[in-house]
Amino acid sequence: MTPSVGSGASRATGRPPAGSRLRVVRAGALTTVQDAGRPGWAHLGVGRAGFLDAPAARLANRLLGNPPDAAVLETTLTGCAVRPDRPVVAVVGGAGCRVTVDGRPVAWGAPVRVPAGAVLDAGPAGTGLRSYLAFAGGLVPEAVLGSRSADLLSGLGPAPLGEGDELPLGEPASGAPPPAGPVPWPGAPAELVLPVHPGPRHDWFTGAALRTLLTAGYRVSPDSNRIGLRTEGPALERSRTGELPSEGMVLGAIQVPPDGRPVVFLNDHPTTGGYPVVGVVPEQALAAAAQAVPGTRLRFVRA
């Protein structure tokens, strides 16, 4: 999941940027461009992508006067640092982290002014997993199927960022942004509780396995990513052997691979799959999963 490093405005945006732009100084473990994603293309094999923690990303945009689904940077665990070539107002939200401008501490979770040529650095996550860097006017790399989001599974959209990459900045909305008073940012869960609607393939599992799913304690696996939240804990025993024909997968589907450990499909999930889906987590419950660090306690409960 570590992004490849190369030069490149052309790699990040598909073409050389024009006008104001943002240069990546430190890419971090995984930094991608995300907006609301590209729903509605699953019939063509194209997944949704988009913000994993949509409430946090939209709040950052709201504080800047951006449309709620304007494109932002989503970082994973280690943050990132960027340098704009014009003055810009930015918000760093989502996972709590130390924020600096040219080494000077500035506010997390509120608009800050970044002079032209200064380095905005969002440090490693102190709480949570994914931080969001939003900029007045948004980021405007070339859209693919109506979205600027990176999809790690299909490769659509801008590639994960590397040092030296550049992204074009949009023009801020006219007028002053809304007041930047205290706002309630979503927090990282000490325990992740995910409601489950059983099915469509719960009958492929024993009754004991279904009770285990809804009563046992799990933990978030370090192998989790934007494709799926993997779990550590008791395996679910199947009542049927054999293969299941590939069928459509939805956001929040809990697929159970041969090792028996549930995997919750997140935004970059495949659109089809052949392992049975024991249940589905409603979309509105998945934002907390975006901030659940490896080792976080996890419980599934009946929706």
Q: What is the pLDDT of residues 175-185, one digit of tens each?
A: 656 655 567 88
Q: What is the average per-residue pLDDT within 283-293?
A: 96
Q: What tens digit of pLDDT does each residue of 135-165 get?
A: 999 999 999 999 999 999 999 999 999 999 9
pTM: 0.91
Q: How far apart are CA 194 and CA 300, in angstroms?
A: 5
Given this structure, which CATH class describes domain 191-302?
Answer: mainly beta
pLDDT for residue 45: 92
CB of 22 within 8 A of CB of 140? no
pLDDT-above-70 percentage for the chain: 91
Q: What tens digit of pLDDT does each residue of 182-208 get?
A: 678 888 899 999 999 999 999 999 999
Residue limits of CATH 2.40.100.10 in the chain? 191-302
CA 66, distance to chain mean position in Å, is 19
Cα-flanking dihedrals φ and ψ of residue 122, to 5°?
-100, 115
Query: Does residue 9 surpass a pLDDT of 80?
Result: no
pLDDT for residue 186: 80
* Three-state secondary-structure class, residue 84: strand
CB of 93 within 8 A of CB of 185? yes
pLDDT for residue 184: 80
